[in-house]
């Protein structure tokens, strides 16, 4: 089933890279860009449109909130970055305020009852929960990018470190998209071979450190991530569009998995046309389970401090 995707924040680096990845994928029927800077969104849409003959037969345009609200998948990438001397909580509350405004605008413009809300803006786990509770939206129709990007970085860094084919490395980062993220070595493998048998404990530690710091490194060097996150967004949207039911580490609302409720974080999750098909409580090493539970506590604490 072909779908219409709107990207709110489509004029920014993340939103425009996601649109380009969706164009290259050639799966969704329509891509609409919306941004507070309408000219920027219009320019990005025009640039993409000019390449349509070389990529896919899709409708590509820029539009207002009413047009964005009519989409099957509404992908929200809008948000602001931390200012000098600003605390993490101050940034979170500022983005919460921006995000609530976006949600209210979508509601006023008759957001489709069947729409899947796909949250990319940070802090993604907090904002995914906010989308569910602020709009009283069905939890299965709301998911966040979660640790999809962290997982892609993790696999790619493992492959780079050991000269392995990146597409055959299967390893996960779960929990919070943030400081308490957890590497899952218990199931990590390359072409069916356990990575624990290939990587020493020291190598595992160093690779995870590189993964944790990779976002900050990209920001330092070029101002922010774009290509990898765009590909991650496209992977999730394609699983929705084609009802692929891929198991992805998206952020969704917990209903008792690992003893966690209401908080949104990343565990292996089946993603299909209806959004979150199933969030799976898989067997983990005790320290990995404890890591996910620590993420839940940290996110609950942040949630309690929101204005």
- Give dist(CA 135, CA 111) in Å, integer: 10
- Give dist(CA 248, CA 270) in Å, integer: 6
- Give dist(CA 199, CA 197) in Å, integer: 6
Task: Please state, as a whole number, how many other Cβ atoms lie within 10 Å of the Cβ of residue 299.
Answer: 26
> Angle at which helices 124-135 and 88-108 pack, to 10 degrees?
40
Q: DSSP character for 197?
A: G
Task: Please state, as a whole number, how many other Cβ atoms lie within 10 Å of the Cβ of residue 146.
Answer: 31
Backbone torsion region of residue 166, taken as left when φ is above 0, otherwise alpha when ψ lies between -120 and 50, otherwise beta: alpha
Residue 40: name the closest of 11, 60, 68, 8 by CA.
11
The single residue of 50, 177, 202, 238 carrying the catalytic annotation is 177
Task: Please state, as a whole number, how many other Cβ atoms lie within 10 Å of the Cβ of residue 153.
Answer: 23
Beta strands 275-279 and 193-194, pairing class: unpaired
Per DSSP, the residues of 57-115 read --EEEE--HHHHHT-SEEEE----PPPTT--HHHHHHHHHHHHHHHHHHHHHTT--TTP
The angle subtended at Cα 303 by Cα 298 and Cα 305, nearest 5°, is: 100
Spatial strand order of the sheet with 116-119 comes to 59-62, 30-34, 4-8, 73-76, 116-119, 142-144, 251-255, 261-266
177 carries an active-site annotation: yes
Q: Are 55 and 24 in contact (CB under 8 A)?
A: yes
Catalytic positions, written as ranges:
177
């Amino acid at each position: 089933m072909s779908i219409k995707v709107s990207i709110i924040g489509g004029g920014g680096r993340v939103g425009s890279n996601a649109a380009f990845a969706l164009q290259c994928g050639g799966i969704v029927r329509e891509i609409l860009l919306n941004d507070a800077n309408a000219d920027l969104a219009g320019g990005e849409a025009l640039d993409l449109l000019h390449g349509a003959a070389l990529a896919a037969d899709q409708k590509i345009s820029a539009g207002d909130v009413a047009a964005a609200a009519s989409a099957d998948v509404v992908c929200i990438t809008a948000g602001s970055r931390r200012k000098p001397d600003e605390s993490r909580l101050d940034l979170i509350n500022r983005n919460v305020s921006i995000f609530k405004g976006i949600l209210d605008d979508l509601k006023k413009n008759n957001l489709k009852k069947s729409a899947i809300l796909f949250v990319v803006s940070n802090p993604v786990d907090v904002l995914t929960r906010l989308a569910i509770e602020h709009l009283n939206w069905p939890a299965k129709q709301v998911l966040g990018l979660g640790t999809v990007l962290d997982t892609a970085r993790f696999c790619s860094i493992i492959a780079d470190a050991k000269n392995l084919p990146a597409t055959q490395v299967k390893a996960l980062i779960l929990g919070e998209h943030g400081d308490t993220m957890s590497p899952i070595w218990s199931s990590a493998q390359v072409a069916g071979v356990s990575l624990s048998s290939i990587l020493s404990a020291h190598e595992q530690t160093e690779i995870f450190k590189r993964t944790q710091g990779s976002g900050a490194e990209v920001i330092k060097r070029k101002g922010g991530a774009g290509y990898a996150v765009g590909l991650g967004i496209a992977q999730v949207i394609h699983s929705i569009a084609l009802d692929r039911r891929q198991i992805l580490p998206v952020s969704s609302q917990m209903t008792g998995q690992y003893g966690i409720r209401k908080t949104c974080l990343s565990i292996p999750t089946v993603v299909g046309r209806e959004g979150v098909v199933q969030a799976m409580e898989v067997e983990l090493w005790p320290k990995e389970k404890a890591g996910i539970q620590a993420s839940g506590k940290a996110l609950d604490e942040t949630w309690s401090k929101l204005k």
